[in-house]
Chains A and B, each alone.
Chain A
Amino acid sequence: MYIDVNGAQVYAYTGSRDFDRALPTLVFIHGAAHDHSVWSLQSRYFAHHGRNVLAVDLPGHGKSGGEPLSTVSVMADWIIGLLDAQRVSNAVLVGHSMGSLIVLDTAARHPERVVRLVLIGPSVPMPVSDVLLEAAKRDDHVAFELITTWSFSPEHQLGGNQQPGVWMTGSALRLLERSRPGALYADLLACHGYAGGLAAAERMHHPALLIVGGCDLMAPPKNAQALIEALPHKRVVTIPNCGHSLMVEAPDAVLDALRSFV
């Protein structure tokens, strides 16, 4: 469905269901240069199991209009704008990679609008290498290739997708290629510049679920350790043999962790 958020038309996948304000809502927030389709299995499950689902395309991504937002905090405020537009008082927020930072910041600065938070493939802080930033700044294809290389565990680099017939790394690369020029650079800069993650975590009152890939090269498990220690109320699920693309590398494990938490 398309939603007017702050005067711009943006897209949110709802699992082919009408939005029902009587139901609790889950908001799924994608990572850098991605879109709602990274959540297709998990979001569709909840949409057909008694929840509203808003798997958003952030501004300047996927089917949404506008320009990519500049900072994680601006993105967090935009999520509040999305909830306002749908007249949702509060929701469970689920974020992947950059999306996990958005969830963290939203919950810290707007605690009354968040019920629970799920951080998938998190890293706090989330510095980005010079080589990747420079390639993204040039809109160089090598940036997409680097991310694709780092986003899958060594085992999954050669496939073995649970989704029949889909070549994981090829599909991931194509999704990045389809992002708009400049979107990846804007997102990576936002990740690189976000400094409030640990402070946000320390004052978090909400229950948090962290889902970590045991072989994540983009956001290695040890980079999530400070975040885990800072969060007062957390549950950590580590999926072995899984890289940064957790929703496609281990779709059932991610869904089962979500089901047990929300």
Chain B
Amino acid sequence: MRYHTSIPYPRGYARMTKPKTTHFDTLTLHAGARPDAATGARATPIYQSTSFVFPDTDHAAALFNMERAGHVYSRISNPTCAVREERISALEGGVAAIAVACGQAALHLAIVTLMGAGSHIVASRALYGGSHNLLDYTLPRFGIKTTFVNPRELDQWRAAIRPNTRLLFGETLGNPGLEVLDVARVAALAHEHGLPLLIDSTFTTPYLMRPFEHGADLVYHSATKFLSGHGVVIGGVLIDGGCFDWEKSAKFPTLTQPYAGFHNMVFTDESTTAAFLLRARREGIRDFGACMAPMTAFQILQGIETLPLRMQRHIDNTRKIVAFLRDHPLVDAIGYPELPEHPDHVLAQKLLPKGCGAVFSFSIRGTREQGRKFIEALKIFSHLANVGDAKSLVIHPASTTHFRVSAEDLKAAGITEGTIRLSVGLEHADDLIEDLSRALHAAGKA
């Protein structure tokens, strides 16, 4: 008699001699959620409540002291946010997540959970402008410095690591040049030095790449973008992969030493797999407070439910537009890794077989005035500072998202005065191509 051949299976539950894997598409709809126990509501309810009633004083004390699980106050946790946290953990293949106010809050929370003044970060130079601001201008004021490196040059990553380095950080696809980060190689280098690798996976989402499978240790998203897809909320999420050995590294006393701010809790004693996330919740979100509102979590959940469908449409449209632009006489230098001339084409085929996202840049041959004319002539593409919306978007990075970046760093990041960044939406591809064609014609006449 054997366990799995003698058990009374629930109805519809096939006998299993192989592991059961719930597919990604199913997890986007169901992970973390179940019909509401109180009402039977099928959609995840919006628990728009600051706080939750304690059954008795002992229960209250136990909740505060992490002797029981549950919700106390919505800055620390909230039932709607918790569904959204579980869902993204499931999709990324992580162990736990924390929903925060925005992608920038997720990056900040990751950093302050791991280190304090006197620490150092090695980061890819090809970053979102907001991330660059935080690392290059703001964090040094708090004693945390960053060395920026060419993400393609592993020797630069290696050379930049110092004794006080506590984190390596990059984006799956660099912004705006779409440098493909070789996550496995950078992760291996980080681990050689007892350091974790943090990945901003906003552009790819778990539909296109799951960085934990390539060795990353922490992942975050600006959920404002493709995870939501609708462009109506600002939100972020930070996910713990659960693999990094904080004790073996011995470089992270915030996780391995008693924390006076929570009854001398040692987070690696408390949780073998999610010590990082535990500290992020028990200290970071408690004290820095950049929490997510339940209504926002609900709206992001609505977006995630259609993530596979939307991402495939984004990719299909992007491929058609890239093909159109590639043949246009006014267009120069399209930076899309699916094109053979892109420097990371081979790596992209390996890491991103489903597609390289729906954000890419290209340059217009001509003057800055022609670039301005192009953007202003677009009717369907909206000129604004966002990506990952269901609607198609366009921006001029040098004068907007990256305007604080020095000319030298702009050049190093592959951005010129003529660079245009598109975020391809879900409209019909023919209409988008017509819009681009008309705007290019207007630019040509300028």
Contacts and interface: CB of A to CB of B under 8 A. Distances in A.
Partners in one complex: yes
Interface of A: 13, 16, 35, 37, 40-41, 44-45, 48-49, 62-63, 123, 127-132, 142, 145-146, 148-150, 154-155, 157-167, 169-171, 174-175, 177-178, 215, 217-220, 222-223, 251-252, 255
B388 to A, nearest CB: 23
Contacts of A154: 10, 13
Given A170-B242, A171-B242, A127 B1 contact: yes
Residue of B9, B16, B97, B272 most packed against chain A (CB within 10 A): B272
14 contacts: A45-B62, A132-B3, A146-B19, A158-B31, A158-B34, A160-B34, A161-B82, A164-B69, A164-B70, A167-B31, A170-B93, A178-B243, A217-B4, A252-B68
A178 B247 CA distance: 13
A44 B63 CA distance: 11
Nearest to A63: B247
A61 B2 CA distance: 26
B266 interface: yes
B90 A127 contact: no
A164 B33 contact: no
Interface string B251-265: 000000010000111
B138 interface: no
A36 to B, nearest CB: 8
Nearest to B66: A44
B213 interface: no
B308 interface: no
Given A160-B86, A161-B69, 5 more contacts: A44-B65, A130-B2, A154-B10, A165-B81, A167-B86
Residue of B21, B32, B69, B77 most packed against chain A (CB within 10 A): B69
B40 interface: no
Nearest to A129: B2
A149 B70 CA distance: 25
B300 interface: no
A13 B10 CA distance: 36
Nearest to A47: B67
Contacts of A132: 3-4
Contacts of A13: 269-270
Nearest to B275: A37
B17 interface: yes
B57 interface: no
A177 B6 CA distance: 27
A131 B16 CA distance: 11
Pairs of residues from A and B, 9 with the lowest C-beta to C-beta distance, nearest first: A145-B19, A164-B77, A167-B89, A165-B85, A45-B67, A129-B2, A174-B242, A162-B69, A163-B69
Contacts of A159: 31-34, 83, 86-87, 90
B274 interface: yes
Contacts of A178: 243, 272-273
Given A41-B69, A45-B62, A157-B22, A16 B2 contact: no
A155 B34 contact: yes
A128 B1 CA distance: 9
A257 to B, nearest CB: 14
Nearest to A259: B58
A158 B96 contact: no
Contacts of B86: 159-161, 165-167
Contacts of B399: none
Nearest to A55: B269
Contacts of B69: 41, 161-164, 251-252
Interface string B73-98: 00011100111011101100111111
Given A159-B33, A165-B277, A149 B16 contact: yes
Given A44-B65, A148-B19, A165-B98, A158 B13 contact: no
Nearest to A217: B7
B30 interface: yes
B71 interface: yes
Contacts of B264: 16
Nearest to A131: B17
Contact of A160 (B3, B5, B32, B281): B32
B340 interface: no
Contacts of A48: 62, 65, 67
Contacts of A255: 67-68
Nearest to B58: A49
Contact of A35 (B33, B247, B272): B272
A128 B34 contact: no
B341 to A, nearest CB: 38
A155 B12 CA distance: 12
Nearest to B30: A158
Residue of B21, B81, B94 most packed against chain A (CB within 10 A): B94
